[in-house]
Structure 1
Amino acid sequence: MSVSDAGRQEVADGLSDEEFVDALPKVELHVHLEGSMRPRTLLALARRHGVDDLPTDIEGLTKFYEFRDFDHFIEVYLAAVRVLRDADDFAVLARETALGLAGQGVRYAEITFTPFLHIQRGIDADELFGGIERGRLDAERETGIQVRWVTDIPGLPNMNLRPASEGTVEFALNRRESVIALGLGGPEVDVPRPQFAEAFTVARDAGLHRVPHAGETTGARTIWDALEYLHAERIGHGIRALDDPALVEHLRAHHIPLEVCPTSNLRTGVVADYPDHPLPTLIELALPVSLNSDDPPMFGTTLRDEYLHALRSLGLRRDQVVGLAAAAVEHSFAPAPLKDALRAEIAAAADRVQAAS
């Protein structure tokens, strides 16, 4: 759909794109807690803890978040998370992240965080988890948003990966009250996925869901590895699935969802610009996909923005965007009663949009 087509749709529906997106209940499946730190919070924590090698104002932080490539993004990410030092810091981060999502109409979110990054810096695991749980529950009491955690193994080339893997799985299994899944991040080309097979097998056997990143910066082989070795139920990003028609057919036949994050892919240089993004093709091929924000402040986006970009920059129709919102519900690990309620909310929103047309 062209920009002019989008304008005609707004007139026909009687709703602006903003009104349409705001009326749509949402689920967020791929967003990182540490990457959701608000700029002013990062600056305040840096001052509080004397982290003096980071930018000291919003303008400087904006330039700091101009990434040359994916490896540079990881470098900046690791520098930024050093401002998180105690339970209060993590409580503020979790509360602000959840409230920010709730303000965009998000009813349920599965938020990824990377405990081993902090534990290896000497932060006590119980203090860390106590902080994010306090923030999560505060936000739920204030807005009703429900948040569950995905613990991410930091697949970084300069890290001792066995302790990172084992420590992350142990952390997750000891905190099942709100941790529902195991993830895996980091540079795919430097850290092949098969070496994490043992950790993901332990997670599977213990009943944890598996949602590794794959096919973001490398080709289809990484996704195959995530399926074969990591027992992946969803794939973080996964846009390079299009490199392999056999993989496309496999994902479609086995209904393995992709968590797609368009602006993230642009900001890390994985995709050149919105018209080049493969999301419309993934939808055309009937692959199960959801729309997500990844590291919103670092990429200058929000989940709301991603839905607007889907309409305006990627040319999706409104019914396709409603489909993305509905797919996020189906792909989530939310309990059945909550899924039923979310399905009903999205159906009601779709009916309101249809009635306005």
Structure 2
Amino acid sequence: MSFLAPTTSSSTLFSESPLARKLCAMPKAELHMHIEGSLEPELIFALAERNGVTLPYPSVDALRDAYAFTDLQSFLDIYYAGASVLLTEQDFYDMTWAYVERAVADHIVHTEIFFDPQTHIARGVPVEVVVNGISRALDDAEARHGLSSRMILCFLRHLSEEDAFATLASAEACFKTVPRLIGVGLDSSEQGNPPEKFARVFARCEALGLRRVAHAGEEGPAQNIRDALDLLHAERIDHGVTAIEDQALLQRLAAEKIALTVCPLSNVKLKVFDDMTAHSLPMLLDAGVAVTLNSDDPAYFGGYLNTNYLAVFEALPLGEETGYLLARNSLEAAFATDEEKARWVAQLDAFWAQTPAA
């Protein structure tokens, strides 16, 4: 089965097309978004001024100009510098609320937010400050906008297993007291930090009943995806775009309905693919893999969720049915109850039936 559609005329600006409007307005979920990666330069400077933090950039424009990444590590260097302005619970609230407003504008009905406590603990910020600021904003988002959400604590893979265990121990009380904090993930530099490094940490998390995801197959080989499944018992794979290197793995992902949380603009910005036309998304879809679209670190990579949808559908000859499939995949792959997912899918079906794309 092919998900490619005839290429539309280049004379029509895609972002103004009926399909583009439909993609932007449809209900959808976002399952791969690092909240620290939503810090826009303007907010970074505002928080720096509030907290008396000196940044190594003279202006907002200078900071934005530094977003010329050559690979994942060059991005991470700036990412951690930006996070240095986050010190108080209100800082984490303000950062999260800024994302909430964009999520609501993008018609996101459910979001699963990654956060990196080790980045903040190393600066003397307790994990409770991080969790409480984010969760309070998400509580308000649900009350005011009906936005469903979960939180996923991510371990930094460039740090040690010992550090990850210590972070888990410091957060155990939060897992018990914050209902929307439901799982753990693994992010940061994939090169040189294979999944096996954290097998014992994830075993402990599984014993605690936590949901588990892991970055794999972004810059690393397809084998990292296999290891994340087999050694970490990951329930979803974040990125996973190098799965196309291994046909047997593709068949397994499809058969076991393992969702991939793919981040197209991030992949291009970090040089995983030369440009969007070279992205592996069509091959993943043709293999029957449950692909979802996500924004990763939207402040750094050029756009939030709808911008990722538009970039993909403008660059690749994808049909209307693929838009529906990607949205449905995102809803069904969420760490939510069957009742919640059924309700969201019903909303999507109703929207899709009532909204023409041509």
TM-score, structure 1 normalization: 0.93
Q: 1:310 aligns with which of 309, 312, 319?
A: 312
Q: Which has the higher contact order (CA 8 A, sep 6+)?
A: 2
Q: Mean Cα displacement is larger for which, 307-316 or 259-268?
A: 307-316
Give the distance between the partners of 1:52 and 1:198, measured in 2 at CA. 39
Q: 1:4 aligns with which of 3, 8, 14?
A: 8
Instruction: Give the root-mean-square deviation of aligned CA atoms.
Output: 2.0
Q: Mean Cα displacement is larger for which, 74-83 or 48-57?
A: 48-57
Change (3 A) 1:53 1:38: closer
Contact 1:165–1:196 under 8 Å retained in 2: no
Q: Which amino acid aligns with 1:28?
A: E
Q: May I ask how many residue pairs the two structures share in their alignment?
A: 351
Percent pairwise identity: 33
Whether 1:133 aligns to 2:129 is: no
Quote the residue 1:54 is aligned against. Answer: 56
Q: 1:333 aligns with which of 325, 332, 335?
A: 335
Give the distance between the partners of 1:347 and 1:170, measured in 2 at CA. 42
Q: Which amino acid aligns with 1:348?
A: A
Shift of 1:307: 1.2
Give the distance between the partners of 2:169 and 2:100, measured in 1 at CA. 24
Gaps spanning 5+ residues in structure 2: where? none
TM-score, structure 2 normalization: 0.92
Gaps spanning 5+ residues in structure 1: where? none
Shift of 1:127: 2.1
Contact 1:6–1:311 under 8 Å retained in 2: no
Matches within 5 A, 1:29-48: 29-48=31-50
Quote the residue 1:275 is aligned against. Answer: 277
Give the distance between the partners of 1:56 and 1:137, measured in 2 at CA. 35
Give the distance between the partners of 1:316 and 1:6, measured in 2 at CA. 14
Whether 1:66 aligns to 2:68 is: yes
Give the distance between the partners of 2:176 and 2:163, measured in 1 at CA. 16
Contact 2:35–2:113 under 8 Å retained in 1: yes
Give the distance between the partners of 2:209 and 2:239, measured in 1 at CA. 23
Q: Secondary structure at the match of 2:179?
A: coil
Q: Which amino acid aligns with 2:164?
A: A
Give the distance between the partners of 1:166 and 1:196, measured in 2 at CA. 13
Give the distance between the partners of 1:24 and 1:6, measured in 2 at CA. 24
Give the distance between the partners of 1:334 and 1:113, measured in 2 at CA. 19
Quote the residue 1:77 is aligned against. Answer: 79
Q: Secondary structure at the match of 1:95?
A: helix
Give the distance between the partners of 1:202 and 1:218, measured in 2 at CA. 25
Shift of 1:15: 5.8
Shift of 1:160: 3.5
Q: Secondary structure at the match of 2:231?
A: helix
Give the distance between the partners of 1:26 and 1:215, measured in 2 at CA. 24
Shift of 1:2: 5.6
Quote the residue 1:286 is aligned against. Answer: 288
Q: Secondary structure at the match of 2:355?
A: helix
Give the distance between the partners of 1:281 and 1:169, measured in 2 at CA. 41
Give the distance between the partners of 2:10 and 2:234, measured in 1 at CA. 36
Matches within 5 A, 1:69-108: 69-108=71-110
Q: Secondary structure at the match of 1:211?
A: strand
Contact 2:214–2:234 under 8 Å retained in 1: yes
Give the distance between the partners of 1:89 and 1:38, measured in 2 at CA. 13
Q: Which amino acid aligns with 1:225?
A: D
Change (3 A) 1:176 1:133: closer
Q: Which amino acid aligns with 1:215?
A: G
Shift of 1:90: 0.6
Q: 2:253 aligns with which of 244, 251, 254?
A: 251
Quote the residue 1:171 is aligned against. Answer: 171
Change (3 A) 1:50 1:240: same
